[in-house]
A and B are shown apart, each in its own frame.
Chain A
């Protein structure tokens, strides 16, 4: 039983950064903007989180720094693509490259230093409950934030008027503009929310997952988050499912190897990607529903005509 709990906890840790980055990007894409800079924003969040945590001695300040830096870094993307109407794909890719390089430069002084870890939640009695105690009441704070984000974003997008407005902008920015909605303002806020989430996901890496700073420590997780958004057809709860399926197969294959299952390790390593895509494609096989959920003006530059 202990082993099961331990495995489930490991899965949650592996899934959390993917989930947070993906949920942020989902909001961005729902507003019709494609930001391929997730990896760059994430790694900036990671270096900021580690740096602030290390310098102040408080991982909580690190957490806030990760969020703020992620949002500020995404502002660069927003100014370029929204105010100057540059190509979103190219700008997003450059944001990733810039983030990877800049974080490496800023983090030079942090290499080889152990960092501060965010403490796990501990509620007397509740956390001590067998099995469910540690799973429900004993995880790191960012885990709880990630779950709250999923349901919060889901509620916001589908149950609030502002959420409806945001989705309408993503579907047709010209119509939204004609109705008098401030397209650019909404998109600015959406992009910055996405940046804040990516920064937080990076902070999870350098403050919880592996409390240290090393260049390129995101190791491609931003790209996995981007893929999760598309394969979950822009639905928050499916992103949750996707991130946890990925995490489960990811951890499961490591256990399978340690257990000595005679399957080539290269195949096992690719399994999380395959399994997640297959499952999400099966969930999203209803074409009409998928079309309905796809933001129609995704990736198109918008220049107000008057």
Chain B
């Protein structure tokens, strides 16, 4: 009996040592992506962030990811699988993972969760997002300066707040340069369909736009711009290779600093769920080098970028809504809650928002 007890005690002791040794050695951080890592856009940029974590923290972390995870019930299985495989910190990177991730987070209170672009939280679930609209204000200014026809073509995916916010910010930027600037808006109802995005770009150019802006993920619209000798902006990653003569700049999502910070915090035990919405200032939103631009326009763009980095918000009054009614008073700054739920256009947008 005594022997058995000793055997039991030593084996549990050995086990607990093994567990703690492993915990001290390595943290397993895991990611769930909605698209393929090879989309060269949204999911690709998240994965670049993951790779940066591996590079920076080396032996201290082990990472894993699941790609092409459908939003909805499938996502729940994905999160649960990662949780059971020993992931201690899990990032869900798409809006549609929200409910699934909350559910799994409640089930595994010892595991840390983070969800991008959502709004639901839990004691072990934080949220994060990036202020892409800050970059879109700069695009608007450049477009208004560079366009000869005074019309930009704007290709968009779905009428969600993120996208509407981008259109509004772009228009405010453009109007700050040319109050009569117009944008023709085409909804392609897809995040990712290179062919359809190319077709939309051709249609917009055919109708007189000479600059293309996109809130979809492929490089196709820029390629069309290059073929036609016109211009545009990259989306999510620097797309200069596809349009060396046509890209003015690109809004680049850089998740690396955030991911590194969060994983480091999980390692040293100071991780707490947060609600983070970083932008140009924190380096979450980068602008690709300004190219194909005259010096004065480049200087203007850089000045605006600096102003935003110093804390200025593009949604600063006076701003009127599309129907002319007042929204922001002079000097008033839009609060984050309104922005995150934005479902209206500002004055001057020439489109009816699909409901």
Contact = CB atoms under 8 A, between A and B. Distances in A.
A104 B38 CA distance: 7
Interface string A206-247: 000111101111011100000000000000000000000000
Contact of A216 (B36, B196, B200, B206): B36
Contact of B354 (A6, A212, A214, A264): A264
B26 interface: no
A57 interface: no
A150 interface: no
Interface stretch (B107-115, B163-171, B217-225, B324-332): B217-225
Contacts of B219: 210, 212, 214
Considering residues A108, A210, A212, A262, which has the most beta carbons from chain B within 10 angstroms of its beta carbon? Answer: A210
B179 interface: no
B74 interface: no
Contact of B199 (A14, A215, A216, A260): A14
A13 B207 CA distance: 18
Interface stretch (B139-147, B184-192, B284-292, B296-304): B184-192
Contacts of A180: none
B207 A259 contact: yes
How many A residues are at the interface, by size bracket? 35 or more
B4 to A, nearest CB: 52
Nearest to B154: A258
B189 A255 contact: no
A113 interface: yes
Given A114-B242, A211-B223, A254 B203 contact: yes
A212 B38 contact: no
A251 interface: yes
Interface of B is mostly: mixed
A251 B203 CA distance: 7
B274 interface: no
B303 to A, nearest CB: 31
B123 interface: no
Interface string B181-212: 00011111110111111111011101101000
B184 A260 contact: yes
Interface of A is mostly: helix
Contact of A254 (B39, B199, B223, B355): B199
B261 interface: no
Contact of A107 (B38, B187, B190, B197): B38
Contacts of B352: 262
How many B residues are at the interface, by size bracket? 35 or more
Contact of A212 (B189, B207, B209, B242): B242
A112 B350 contact: no
B36 A10 contact: no
B40 interface: yes
Given A205-B195, A260-B351, A214 B40 contact: yes
A112 B188 CA distance: 22
Contact of A215 (B38, B185, B209): B38
Contacts of B186: 254, 257-258, 265
B153 interface: yes
A140 B40 CA distance: 27
A48 to B, nearest CB: 16
Contacts of B223: 114, 210-212
Given A10-B202, A14-B195, A107-B38, A265 B354 contact: yes
A104 B207 contact: no
Contacts of A205: 194-195
A11 to B, nearest CB: 9
A269 interface: yes
A114 B199 contact: no
Contacts of B258: none
B44 interface: yes
Contact of B206 (A3, A17, A262): A3
A266 B157 CA distance: 11
A83 B193 CA distance: 36
B3 interface: no
B70 to A, nearest CB: 13
A266 B354 contact: yes
Contacts of A212: 194, 218-220, 223, 242
B84 interface: no
Contact of B192 (A7, A219, A262, A264): A219
Interface in B203-245: 203-204, 206-207, 209, 218-220, 223, 237, 241-242
14 contacts: A7-B203, A13-B199, A14-B199, A107-B38, A112-B241, A214-B40, A214-B192, A216-B36, A250-B196, A258-B185, A258-B204, A259-B184, A269-B187, A269-B188
In the A-B complex, the 5 residue pairs with the closest CB atoms = A265-B187, A215-B36, A254-B203, A219-B193, A210-B194
Given A3-B207, A112-B44, 12 more contacts: A6-B206, A104-B36, A104-B38, A210-B197, A212-B220, A217-B194, A219-B190, A254-B200, A254-B203, A254-B204, A259-B184, A266-B187
